[in-house]
Amino acid sequence: MRERTADDVDACVKAVAEVHAADRYPTNWPAEPAGWLNPDGLVGSWVAESDGVVLGHVALQQGHGPCAVPAVLDAAGVEPARLAAVARLFVVPAARRQGVAAALMDAVGEEAAQRGLRLVLDTVGHAPAALAFYERTGWRRVLSQTASWTRPGGGEVTMHYYLGPDRVETATR
């Protein structure tokens, strides 16, 4: 586990292409995948790798995505400046069920705790493995709603918004 560098971007694009082929994540393939890995408000990003091969990725984002949803802000109970989102989390199919996602979440959680930030995330309703992982690891669903965008072909997408375990208060005790 380490911070992502500019040299990792091509390998991350290759990895997320594998994920997209297997799971349709992201639901709509981005026109510029390298840019998609760097969302607005990016605070940091991490990769999991083995023998130089990227197995997974996660980013920490502030001020955008679920951080900008009023009901999520209300549920978090903190000022907007103390809220950050887990973003661009993916693990290649061959590396799943080996603790890679948990390690990535630990990395982003540790960074958020060091910065005094409360974590939130959003995920699509058609990702049952992701939903189960978040709920199993202590994330609490605070909102579900129809997305403002659609799947390829025009189908509706349900978004679920989660509030992370309260690591900030735990870390400061």
- Segment 66-80, tens digit of pLDDT: 999 999 999 999 999
Q: Is 145 helix (H, G, I), strand (E, B) or coil?
A: strand
Instruction: Return the amino acid letter for 84.
Output: A
Distance CA 85, CA 113 (A): 12
The end-to-end CA distance of the chain, in Å, is 26
Over its length of 173 residues, how does the chain's per-residue pLDDT go in tens digits?
Answer: 999 999 999 999 999 999 999 999 999 999 999 999 999 999 999 999 999 999 999 999 999 999 999 999 999 999 999 999 999 999 999 999 999 999 999 999 999 999 999 999 999 999 999 999 999 999 999 999 999 999 999 999 999 999 999 754 333 33
**Is the pTM higher than 0.85?**
yes
Q: Reply yes or no on domain 2-172 having CATH 3.20.20.140.
A: no
